[in-house]
Amino acid sequence: MSGTGRVRGFSYCAGITGIVLVSILLLPAKDSRGSGRSAAIAEGIRGYVKEGDGSPVVNAGVGIFDGFTLKSVKTDSDGRYKIAELPVSANHYAILFFTKEGYIPQAANLKIREKTDMEYSTILKRGDMGHNGFVIGSIYKPIRGGKIQFQSGIYSFGKGIPVTLERDHKVIKDETDQDGHFLFEAPAGRYTLSGEGLRERAEIEVFTGQTVIRNLRSGVVLVD
């Protein structure tokens, strides 16, 4: 038995629309002084999470994944969030994840610019998911190391790679999009998440109305 896990509004056909990607606005940093670490560390990122009518999404989760760790903050009463520092080198990537119970999650890739403040605001849409939950993530390859100038972040993304959720011999299928992301809507329960050609497999548990963030690594770039 198989099904489709795609629910993004621009290319998906599972009966739910609502993944809205918003442009990244890059603003000059107010303070250009170095931080004493890698000169490529960005100052931070801020923005808003709102509904389609402009009302704030309060207490939404905003996670940033740098290829190695996932750091999360919550939006305030105005739907505003701020992440003080981005631990990613210039010209490499991080991923922002936006989640809240009862809403369709989103992911966005950020290419980091040296010593800049960044802004990213987005719209979350409610999902009529019944007893289902979501699994969102990416297939990625991180980069790490460098004696002359330390580098860290996401180097590249796996595009067009088949991804599956399996439970009791039932398989839900998806494929990573042009940004390397995948998104499943699935009934609550325990699943095995895997990607075609990847050694990594993940055991995850889906809860009703909630979102699981789980990325799959396709390798690593080590810099001497």
- What are the boundaries of each domain within the chain? 2-223
Q: Where are the beta strands (DSSP E) in 84-206?
A: 93-99, 106-111, 116-119, 122-123, 132-145, 151-157, 162-167, 170-175, 181-187, 189-195, 201-206
Helix, coil or strand: residue 24: coil
Cα 179 from chain centroid?
10
Neighbouring-strand partners of residue 42: 86
If one compares 162 and 131, the residue with the highest pLDDT of the two is 162
For residue 30, the model assigns a pLDDT of 33
Residue pointed to by tokens 């055991």 = 203
- Hey, what are 196's tokens? 């075609």
If one compares 52 and 17, the residue with the highest pLDDT of the two is 52
User: Does the pLDDT of residue 210 top 60, yes or no?
Assistant: yes
Q: With bands split at pLDDT 50, 70 and 90, how would you rate the model's confidence at 5?
A: low
Q: How confident is the model over 66-93, as pLDDT tens digits?
A: 999 999 999 999 999 999 888 888 889 9
Q: Would you say the C-alpha torsion 48, 138, 218, 159 has a positive or negative sign? A: negative
Mean pLDDT of the region 168-191: 96
Decide if 5 contacts 182 (C-beta within 8 A): yes
- Hey, what are 44's tokens? 């931070």
User: Does the pLDDT of residue 112 top 50, yes or no?
Assistant: yes
Q: What is the value of pTM for the model shown?
A: 0.80
Q: With bands split at pLDDT 50, 70 and 90, how would you rate the model's confidence at 15?
A: very low
**CATH code of the region 2-223:** 2.60.40.1120
- Hey, what are 176's tokens? 């990573």
- Hey, what are 42's tokens? 């960005």
Closest C-alpha among 114, 93, 90 to residue 34 = 114
Q: With bands split at pLDDT 50, 70 and 90, how would you rate the model's confidence at 127?
A: confident
